Amino acid sequence: MDSKNHTGKFLTIEGIEGVGKSTAIKFIQNYLVHAKQEIVMTREPGGTGIAEQIRKVLLTPNAEETMASETELLLMFASRAQHMAHLIKPALAAGKWVVSDRFVDASYAYQGAGRGLDLKKIATLDQWIEGGLVPDATILLDASPELGLARAKSRGQRDRIEQEKIEFFERVREGYLTRAKQDPNRFHVIDAAQPLVAVNEEIKKVLDKLGNIA
Ligand SMILES: Nc1ncnc2c1ncn2[C@@H]1O[C@H](COP(=O)(O)OP(=O)(O)O)[C@@H](O)[C@H]1O
Ligand SMILES: [Mg+2]
């Protein structure tokens, strides 16, 4: 746990489309508010005005021009640099919980495992931008892309990344699971195919342990 540099708790929620991240975040928000914790909910890419502008560039489909994987990676980190400087660091320094819908693990999973970019280059950017600030805990909601896409189907138009093929999301899922194996103390892998009550029960355990708020 990276408690030396901040007093708040930094929790990130990861997983492919449709596994239940937004649903989990609503549950977490309710739970923490009840426990009288000060929290900031945020998301990546995005989280600040400029970072949300970068998000639009990243996610808007463009029929005229494909986005190079390198561009995608660098924009993700540009958005993250803004998010770190203007939201995450100040909130943690003020002793708040920061709960983010995706963070740097998503770059290893999507741009690394998904797009096939060199993980060492991603690690270099990670070191530069995060400077060793690691989430206190990361919840990985894990389910097959088939299940995720079926759940996400009711949403409107798919964004640029959501339009990828199922094989892409298989690689992303594996990328996430590999990250989780490399850092088992930080990661909490939850089977997202379970009924929502069971998922929430597991999330509750993570929150109680992390915040000592049971
Ligand atoms: N454990 C679950 N069981 C059944 N449906 C779920 C579960 N978790 C989420 N859902 C539903 O699946 C859909 C996608 O969930 P959402 O939280 O938007 O996923 P994400 O933010 O990861 O894309 C929503 O309609 C949500 O209500
Ligand atoms: Mg969501």
Distance 51 CA to ligand 2 centre (A): 17
pLDDT tens, position by position, 136-177: 999 999 999 999 999 998 887 889 998 899 999 999 999 999
Of ligand 1's listed atoms, the one at least distance from the Cα of 23 is: 17
Q: Which two tokens stand for residue 174?
A: 């594996």
Q: What is the mean pLDDT of residues 42-61?
A: 98
CB atoms within 10 A of CB 38: 12
pLDDT tens, position by position, 73-101: 999 999 999 999 999 999 999 999 999 99
Distance 30 CA to ligand 1 centre (A): 17
Which among 3, 24, 2, 5 has a CA at the least distance from the CA of 13? 24
What is d(CA 19, CA 171) in angstroms, rounded to the nearest whole number? 15
Mutate which of 14, 42, 151 for ligand 1? The one with the most ligand atoms within 8 Å of its CB, which is 151
CB atoms within 10 A of CB 139: 26
What is d(CA 18, CA 38) in angstroms, rounded to the nearest whole number? 27
Of the pLDDT bands very low, low, confident and very high (cuts 50, 70, 90), residue 7 is: low
Which residues are placed with Cβ below 5 angstroms of ligand 2, an ion? 21-22
What is d(CA 25, CA 99) in angstroms, rounded to the nearest whole number? 8
**Which one of the ligands is nearest to 152 CA?**
1
What is d(CA 4, CA 122) in angstroms, rounded to the nearest whole number? 25
* Residue 22 identity: S
Of ligand 1's listed atoms, the one at least distance from the Cα of 193 is: 1
Give the pLDDT confidence score for residue 213 in this predicted structure. 66
Reported residue count of the chain is: 214
Distance 45 CA to ligand 2 centre (A): 12
What is d(CA 141, CA 191) in angstroms, rounded to the nearest whole number? 6
Q: Which two tokens stand for residue 63?
A: 């029929």
Distance 93 CA to ligand 1 centre (A): 32
Of the pLDDT bands very low, low, confident and very high (cuts 50, 70, 90), residue 132 is: confident
CATH 3.40.50.300 describes domain 12-211: yes
Domain assignments of the chain as residue spans, ordered by start: 12-211
Protein residues with CB under 6 Å of any ligand 1 atom: 15, 17-23, 151-152, 154, 192, 194-196, 199
| Cα separation of the two ends of the chain | 19
Of ligand 1's listed atoms, the one at least distance from the Cα of 17 is: 23
At which residue do the structure tokens 């540009």 appear? 78
